[in-house]
Amino acid sequence: MEMNTQVTGFRIAHDLPGRIRLRLARLGHPCLASDEFEAEVLALDGVREIRTNRRARSLVVTYGGGAEVRAGLLQWLAALPANAFRHECDPYPSSRRERTPLVVSALALLSLPLLPAPLKSLVTLASISPTVAKGIRTLLNRGVKVEVLDALAVSIAAGHGGFFTANATHLLVRTGGYLEARAERQAHSLLKQLLKRPPELAWVERDGELRRLDAGDIRSDELVVVGPGDPVPVDGRVEQGSALLDHFSLTGESVPVRKEPGDEALAGSLAVDGRLVLRAIRVGENTAAASLGRYIEESLRHPSNSQRLGDRLVYLTFALGGLIFGLTLDPKRVASVFLVDYSCALKLGTPLTFISGMHDAAEAGILFRGAQVLENLADADTVVFDKTGTLTQSRLEITDVIPLRPDRSEEQLLALVASLEEHTRHPYAEALVKYAETVGYRHVDPGAVEFVIAHGLQTEINGKDVFVGSRHYLEEHLGISFASDQPLICDRLAESKTLLYVAEDKTLIGLVALSDRIREEAGAVLARLKDLGINDQIMLTGDARHRAEALAKELGIARLYAEQSPDDKLQVVETLKADGRKVVFVGDGVNDASALVAAQIGVAMPRGVLLSREAADVILLRDDLESLARARELAVRTRSRIARNFRLDVGVNSALLVAATFGWVPPVAAALLHNGTTLAILARSLRKRGVADAHSGIGPAISD
């Protein structure tokens, strides 16, 4: 669809499926708030990536979702007022503001040969004053940092009449700072561009009619209608219809997923085709997308131990400069030493390497809570798996619903259990509720349902106490006898089934049998983790020992802890840590939260309850265990890249320090060579290296 440039202010320069290049006159306007404009385009439904070239007035958009997304983009651009995204009070975009000091410094340097001696000192003082002032502020507020060394270097040069040296050094410092700031913004945008804001409007059934409402006004339990090309505004359960949903912005998964009645749909996904009616479960800031957004924002604020190393190395440079001055009394040598600082490249290159690695991981459906988590995962030597939903499929199957008393039918027992279990999100509960909805059941209205962690549920119905949970809970805590039903129970246990027991007052009235299957990829993932250096692999589970032992034997897991309560799981993790192990804990249930927090690295599976995701250091967004191996691989690779950057930085700057110490390198050359090394490390840190695709299987490690 070609648009008229005269009317819309843009034209299509190139058009391919999933990618379009546009010419926009507004991109050349000096008052355009380009960051805001790019953020709005990136937030449009279905838009995955954008690239702008303001000088060429070019906008390249990569999108998913088909023709509807393309049409929506063009309609949005056509509807923009001519003065949209312009700052009346700010005639310069932010990048121009940052370039202005560089231009001033360059003009000061070029003007020196034309100026008489008195003016040279005044121009130099005016030019270098921002760097000197920044050094003083840094010293007063943060102590000795690289900014202090820069200020000392240019001040020493100017104080001894080296006006050209002072101005040239100042220009190099400013140029390096400008390029470093651009690199840092680019790195942060890598992560932030993965986030999509929820749609502003949505179709909601309210008061018996379909209304177009602000998405922020949707209430829990309301019905929301999502059509082709529409984004999903809430986390909800599909009540009617079916559709293909694009989860790219949530999981990085490029293949749309079909959703049907009973399935859960997450805010931030996009309907490629079909139509859904959703029952809102979580709305607004409580959606999974909003939670992941906060997670990513928080991850940018967590430095690692490697990042802190750069600041400590400043003191080494400062001490060496003092020593050189004491031995030689040569200020030029001291200025050269101060300009050759180990910390600069490490301070900037290390966080950018981490951010780049976190972006690669996020694109593969893996979220890290900060750089230190990447570093910890690279150092880990022990992995502890919770069984259900981790080593086994997260979707359990109901195989038997067995009444144990003649006054109860199978339908009545199922209705009772499903009505209680719908109040929790444990994998057992989800399987029961979905099965009950499939076969049809009459809902029982229970009283207040109490959730006893790792044991079960209890409530009161028609004056009788009703309990659903494990045998340990009913038998040991409630004193309910299992003796008369033991043969039937043993038959089901012999089939490696998981049993939920139902009691009324002090009588066992039924049981529900569930089965779970080992994940197809589990064996390959465990082998891959061993190849990546995690040899100690442990399984924890609350299940009966005989089932756990069969699973551990099949997967080749040597260490097993069965019939574990949440406190038991926590104790296992604490014991491993006390023995000096660096522990990764992988789980998905509410009873895993304490162990997730206690481990050096807590990993939450995607179907985990909200509490486990909030407690985790790593969130796997795709429901496959292969993401764990990819996360470890990426962490090791990121640490390896940082180590190589460190060796490059130390090697080059050590040579420069030796040269500066003996007076072989003047300050200008020292600044040029040092900043060149820093920028080379920054470029290396931001190199994009993807993670293996989710469906490619576990392959060999990707070298850096």
Which residues touch 441 (CB under 8 Å, ≥6 apart)?
A: 411, 414, 415, 418
Query: 203 with 247: CB under 8 angstroms?
Result: no
Residue 246 CA to residue 249 CA, distance in Å, equals: 8
* b/e map 322-342, b = 16+ CB within 10 Å: eebbeeeeebbbbbbbbbbbb
501 beta partners: 469, 511
SS3 148: helix
| Cβ neighbour number for residue 226 with a 10 Å cutoff | 28
Which residues touch 577 (CB under 8 Å, ≥6 apart)?
A: 583, 598, 599, 600
- The kind and range of the H/E element at 557 are none
Radius of gyration of the chain (CA): 31
- The kind and range of the H/E element at 437 are helix 427-439
SS3 539: strand
Residue 27 CA to residue 40 CA, distance in Å, equals: 14
CA 590, chain centre distance (Å) = 21
- The kind and range of the H/E element at 312 are helix 305-328
Ramachandran angles phi, psi of 375, nearest 5°:
-65, -45
Which residues touch 270 (CB under 8 Å, ≥6 apart)?
A: 45, 46, 64, 65, 69, 229, 230, 231, 232, 245, 246, 248, 249
Q: For residue 386, indicate whether it is catalytic.
A: yes
Residue 124 CA to residue 158 CA, distance in Å, equals: 7
DSSP string covering 282-294: E-GGGSHHHHHHH
The Cα-based distances of 147 to 351, 420, 658 in angstroms read: 18, 62, 22
SS3 422: coil
Residue 412 CA to residue 442 CA, distance in Å, equals: 8
- The kind and range of the H/E element at 28 are none
Between strands 498-504 and 507-515, the pairing is antiparallel
Residue 588 CA to residue 606 CA, distance in Å, equals: 8
Helices (H), 580-625: 593-598, 610-615
The pair of structure tokens assigned to 404 is 């144990």
Residue 131 CA to residue 468 CA, distance in Å, equals: 69
Residue 531 CA to residue 182 CA, distance in Å, equals: 38
Which residues touch 701 (CB under 8 Å, ≥6 apart)?
A: 531, 532, 633, 636, 637
- Among 45, 386, 516, 624, the active-site one is 386
How buried is residue 244: exposed, middle or buried, by Cβ count under 10 Å (0-12/13-18/19+)?
middle
The Cα-based distances of 199 to 78, 194, 216, 256, 379 in angstroms read: 19, 15, 9, 19, 41
CA 2, chain centre distance (Å) = 38
Residue 689 CA to residue 215 CA, distance in Å, equals: 36
Residue 163 CA to residue 125 CA, distance in Å, equals: 9
∠ at Cα 24 (19, 29), nearest 5°?
140
Residue 130 CA to residue 147 CA, distance in Å, equals: 11
Residues annotated as catalytic (active site), given as ranges: 386
